[in-house]
Structure 1
Amino acid sequence: MTGVIMDYQKNIEKIPQVLRCAVTLGKFDGLHRGHQKLIQRVLEKKEQGLSAVVFAFDQSNRMILSHEERRAKLETMGVDLFLECPLNERLRHMLPEVFVKEILVDRLHVGFLAVGQDFRFGYERKGNAQLLQKMGQQYDFQVEVIPDETDGKRKISSTYVREQLNEGKVEKVAELLGEYFSTTGEVLHGRGLGHRKLMPTTNLVPPKEKLMPPNGVYITKSRFGDQQFHGITNVGYKPTVGAEEFLGVETYLFHCDQNLYGQKSVVSFLKFLRPERRFDSLEKLKAQLMADIEKAQNYFEETSKNVDC
């Protein structure tokens, strides 16, 4: 933890006046390794007395990180100001030169700007790194174009992360993000069927804007404050018990008999086990869950051995 209390703003009309700052611009969906590379360059400029600013052009589609998760991670990284501005009609039609002058120069007093190689902005996406470098000379700010972070020959991008997540390849997603894909939420009361007839589970509902992997069973780790438990998690609508009202994240925690209702949980996805399916009876479902648990426990044992080696 950095101890930085991050300022947060969604309205470009209310962007606070900053004395001098280092800025990075982009969509920042997922904060993958490429994004982290950009943000790190901005954070390094704090040593020169510049405020670290992340300006995200926010869109309405499903996000790899929820708004709350993204804000929390940026604050942990040490960002001073996070501007989460919806990509509305005004921004879409703003000439790139106007954006630079009115937002970056007049409001943020930019001293350093970091962007990716293919960054585009402004009306008809006419703004690019070359324009920024030209205007940097005009308005006295430095522009650094950061080389792409790659996975083999492919650029690491939010599109790439989404593709892998939509296919349930959470291990590859972890490589691209630099950490496990996770979802955060408060542990809610379910229908109680698991406790009565199957096995105790925790239930949470992902934020509506959160992009989730395919429905199915995953090996997971769940964190509650300073506590962490291994387990298996079902993502889906619980078709066997007929609870199809909303998408849920239901986790069986190994070696845990605590009452966790109301606590905040972070569920990290380590490995895909199987697709969600319908069972003819609760007995068959329970038999499958016991097989899933055995596979997960073997996974954790093997992982532990590899770490010890």
Structure 2
Amino acid sequence: MIYTTEVPHLNSGIRSAVTLGKFDGFHRGHQKLVECIKQKSGENCRTIIFTFDLPYKAYQQKCMPKLLLTYEEKREVAEALHADILAECPFTEELMNMEPEVFVKEYLVDRLHAEYVAIGSDFHFGHNRSGNPEVLSALGEKYGFTVEIIEKERDGEREISSTYIREELEQGRMEKVQKLLGYPYFIKGEIVHGRQLGRTIGVPTANLIPPPMKKLPPNGVYVTQSSVGGKVYSGITNVGYKPTVKENFIGVETYLFHCNEDLYGQEAEVRFYKYLRPEKKFDSLSELKTQLDIDVETARAFFEKEYGQALELRLS
């Protein structure tokens, strides 16, 4: 997959199937759009996911929202969806004030040579968000490309959206988040040195400091799996400030079952499956160790039930 922060300019003779949107989360609705353009791909037709680095509201309000996917994570998911090109363009004043037809002519027609465009039913673009699916369809007829308006994926009576996922994430409902996304919610980062207090109670941990733009689940303990160096480890993860040892920054600390390797400096991807309990201050490390024993047994039961993994996870 090609990743670019500019609007691509395809060579003459190369056409494209394009989907446009914010794509925060690349949830099941977004994946449906990508599948539509993939059906149009071919030797002379590239599949292009066209998005912007900032949501419209963030640019207006001059503040960066917490994102379901960081830029790096968005690239990873787009590559897993097998798109040819992810164009994540800077959202500028010029773009915000561009008339819909100018956007279509300069970008979709002149640069991307679009022959097919798939959009959601709530898609808006251009000056004052005056471009909508009907406007785009009319411009498609004028400039010779097909527009398909894709209905939203639904979860029962509700449409699947990034807003819906954020609401569920804020409640720690990780099973529902996974269902809406189509994959487990995850956080990526480099494993850094902590205080290594976990080793004193037989629970060595891998510590990540999440990117500032990443939206985190509520502080607490979760059943997780972590991918590090091509290996996958089941575990439990604490999100928060670790009040028992009085950290002053929010972190993601994971106990990886059956892992005695030195992982410092490596990149880890922590996938969240189930919320276990809120973060809690214990009176001693001994009390913390007792609770972690319980958390590990709960995680073991979860993996055995969901994945048939008979894991010997008890802390030593």
Q: 1:277 aligns to what?
A: 280
Partner of 2:273, secondary structure, is: strand
1: CA distance, partners of 2:302 / 2:201 = 26
Q: 2:10 aligns to what?
A: 17
Q: 1:3 aligns to what?
A: none
1: CA distance, partners of 2:6 / 2:42 = 28
2: CA distance, partners of 1:139 / 1:23 = 15
Q: Say yes or no: does 1:250 pair with 2:243.
A: no
Deviations 1:112-151 (A, max 9, x none): 1000011111111110111111111110001111111000
**Which has the higher mean CA deviation after the structures are superposed, 153-162 or 197-206?**
197-206
Deviations 1:74-125 (A, max 9, x none): 1232212211123332221111111111111111111110000111111111
Q: 1:177 aligns to what?
A: 181
Q: Say yes or no: does 1:56 pair with 2:63.
A: no
Give 5+ residue unaligned stretches, structure 1.
1-5
The counterpart of 2:221, out of the listed 209, 217, 220, is 217
Partner of 1:288, secondary structure, is: helix
Q: 1:27 aligns to what?
A: 22
Whichever residue aligns with residue 226 of structure 1, its letter is G
2: CA distance, partners of 1:228 / 1:287 = 26
**Which has the higher mean CA deviation after the structures are superposed, 44-53 or 20-29?**
44-53
The counterpart of 2:132, out of the listed 128, 135, 141, is 128
TM-score by length of 2: 0.90
2: CA distance, partners of 1:48 / 1:7 = 16
Q: Say yes or no: does 1:154 pair with 2:147.
A: no
Percent identity, aligned pairs only, is: 51
Whichever residue aligns with residue 3 of structure 2, its letter is Y
TM-score by length of 1: 0.92
- CA contact under 8 A between 2:236 and 2:299: conserved in structure 1? yes
Change (3 A) 1:135 1:304: closer
Whichever residue aligns with residue 248 of structure 1, its letter is G
Deviations 1:214-251 (A, max 9, x none): 1100001111233211110000111211111x221111
Q: Say yes or no: does 1:139 pair with 2:143.
A: yes
Whichever residue aligns with residue 262 of structure 2, its letter is N
Task: Quote the offset at 1:11 in angstroms.
Answer: 3.5
Give 5+ residue unaligned stretches, structure 2.
55-63, 311-316
**Which has the higher mean CA deviation after the structures are superposed, 296-305 or 63-72?**
296-305
- CA contact under 8 A between 2:53 and 2:89: conserved in structure 1? yes
Whichever residue aligns with residue 40 of structure 1, its letter is E
2: CA distance, partners of 1:143 / 1:175 = 28
* Runs of 4+ residues deviating >4 angstroms: none
Whichever residue aligns with residue 232 of structure 1, its letter is I
Whichever residue aligns with residue 293 of structure 1, its letter is V
2: CA distance, partners of 1:119 / 1:205 = 34
Deviations 1:181-216 (A, max 9, x none): 111122211111111245111111222211110110
Partner of 1:45, secondary structure, is: coil
Whichever residue aligns with residue 283 of structure 2, its letter is D
Task: Quote the offset at 1:279 in angstroms.
Answer: 1.5
Aligned residues: 299
Q: 1:296 aligns to what?
A: 299
Whichever residue aligns with residue 9 of structure 2, its letter is P
Partner of 1:90, secondary structure, is: helix
Task: Quote the offset at 1:305 in angstroms.
Answer: 4.5
Q: 2:200 aligns to what?
A: 196
